[in-house]
């Protein structure tokens, strides 16, 4: 769907009061698919809501401030409802790699360039 056809988008563009309350405008979805080998760890920082999905193998997700971890099997997803720092992603077990994806929305400040909605680092 074209971004101009989204409900409320034209109101946001033309209404100064709404624009003042909204520092960024959604531009496009961002999606990354990665393969994680055994014994590798990835850390994730998101700037807003994001979704982690497991496509192959099993993914172990440790969330900051949570007492229980999340284990995703192929075909399962987990939603991060807000900006989150220090999410640790690893494989379950030591023999099998895992393929996972991250999906979020790219936003753009009213003046400036679009920003990537997440940062992923490997250890």
In the chain, the DSSP E strands lie at 24-36, 41-46, 50-56, 58-62, 70-73, 77-80, 84-91, 98-109, 118-122
- C-alpha span between 120 and 18 (Å, rounded): 32
Question: What is the set of domains in the chain, with CATH numbers?
Answer: 23-122 (2.60.120.10)
pTM for this predicted structure: 0.71
Helix (H) / strand (E) containing 11: helix 9-14
Ordered per-residue pLDDT tens for the chain, 123 residues: 344 444 354 454 556 665 555 555 566 667 888 899 988 899 998 888 889 999 999 999 999 988 999 999 999 999 998 888 999 999 987 688 999 999 887 766 656 666 677 787 887
Asked if residue 35 lies in contact with residue 99, where contact means CB atoms within 8 angstroms, the answer is yes
């Amino acid at each position: 769907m074209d971004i101009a056809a989204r409900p409320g988008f034209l109101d946001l563009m033309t209404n100064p009061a709404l624009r003042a309350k909204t520092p960024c405008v959604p531009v496009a979805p961002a999606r990354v698919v990665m393969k994680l080998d055994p014994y590798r760890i990835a850390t994730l920082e998101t700037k807003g809501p994001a979704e982690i999905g497991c496509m192959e193998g099993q993914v172990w997700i440790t969330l900051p401030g949570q007492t229980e971890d999340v284990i995703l099997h192929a075909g399962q997803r987990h939603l991060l409802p807000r900006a989150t720092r220090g999410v640790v992603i690893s494989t379950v077990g030591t023999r099998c790699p895992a393929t996972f994806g991250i999906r979020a929305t790219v936003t753009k400040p009213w003046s400036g360039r679009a920003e990537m909605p997440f940062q992923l680092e490997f250890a």
